[in-house]
């Protein structure tokens, strides 16, 4: 059976002294991205069509550039499927009250009503073709949380409570003859 394996990576640490709304990586973040590149090499991960996906945010693009440079033949490109989004329920009553303020304060450019665009991204990146496919994507904590929540078929709000560390690796897998699986979540062993 053909398999789709998705390596979802939260961007490395952002520069906190960068006053722009879209910061790049901190020096520590650059080291984290380099460690991640070594980890992917050691795992012999080979991406579909030699393309590493990333969001358009500077911190994700910078981490992707470091990873792609370490892998001969890999290119990186921005993808709407891994853009920085926050699934905000149209009806907050289904979400524990402790999360209401967070959800009300989501910036307009990240606001994804009921996670519709994130659901479309899950469908796109989990598609199973005629042969095995491996996708590597550098994205953001809430996006990783939404994908994991989706694979586990958990209630829509559960992504909020999933901790996702900088430069962590989450591996998800889909096959047509079985339920989707979480192979690893929030793995930071390469940062030790």
Q: How many CB atoms lie within 10 A of CB 98?
A: 9
Tens digit of each residue's pLDDT (9 = 90 or more) over 6-26:
999 999 999 987 666 789 999
Share of the chain above pLDDT 70, in %: 98
Return the DSSP state at 160.
G
Q: How many CB atoms lie within 10 A of CB 122?
A: 21
Tens digit of each residue's pLDDT (9 = 90 or more) over 84-136:
999 999 999 999 999 999 999 999 999 999 999 999 999 999 999 999 999 99
At which residue do the structure tokens 């910078």 appear? 62
**pTM to 2 decimals?**
0.95
Q: Of all residues in the chain, what percent are helix, strand and coil, respectively (each to 5)?
A: 40, 25, 35
Return the DSSP state at 187.
E
Buried b (16+ CB within 10 A) or exposed e, 104-117: eeeeeebebeebeb
Tens digit of each residue's pLDDT (9 = 90 or more) over 145-172:
999 999 999 999 999 999 999 999 999 9
Q: Are 171 and 36 in contact (CB under 8 A)?
A: no
């Amino acid at each position: 059976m053909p398999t789709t394996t998705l390596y979802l990576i939260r961007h490395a640490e952002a520069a906190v002294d960068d006053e722009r709304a879209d910061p790049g990586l901190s020096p520590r973040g650059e080291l984290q991205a380099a460690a991640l590149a070594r980890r992917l090499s050691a795992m012999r991960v080979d991406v579909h069509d030699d393309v590493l996906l990333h969001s358009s945010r500077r911190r994700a693009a910078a981490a992707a550039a470091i990873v792609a440079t370490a892998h001969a033949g890999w290119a990186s490109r921005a993808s709407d499927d891994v853009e920085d989004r926050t699934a905000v329920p149209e009806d907050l009553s289904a979400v524990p009250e402790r999360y209401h303020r967070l959800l009300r304060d989501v910036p307009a450019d990240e606001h994804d009503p009921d996670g519709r665009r994130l659901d479309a991204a899950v469908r796109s990146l989990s598609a199973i073709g005629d042969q095995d496919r491996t996708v590597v994507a550098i994205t953001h904590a809430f996006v990783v949380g939404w994908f994991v929540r989706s694979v586990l078929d958990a209630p829509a709000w559960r992504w909020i409570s999933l901790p996702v560390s900088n430069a962590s690796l989450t591996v998800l897998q889909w096959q047509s003859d079985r339920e989707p699986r979480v192979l690893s979540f929030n793995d930071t062993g390469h940062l030790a």
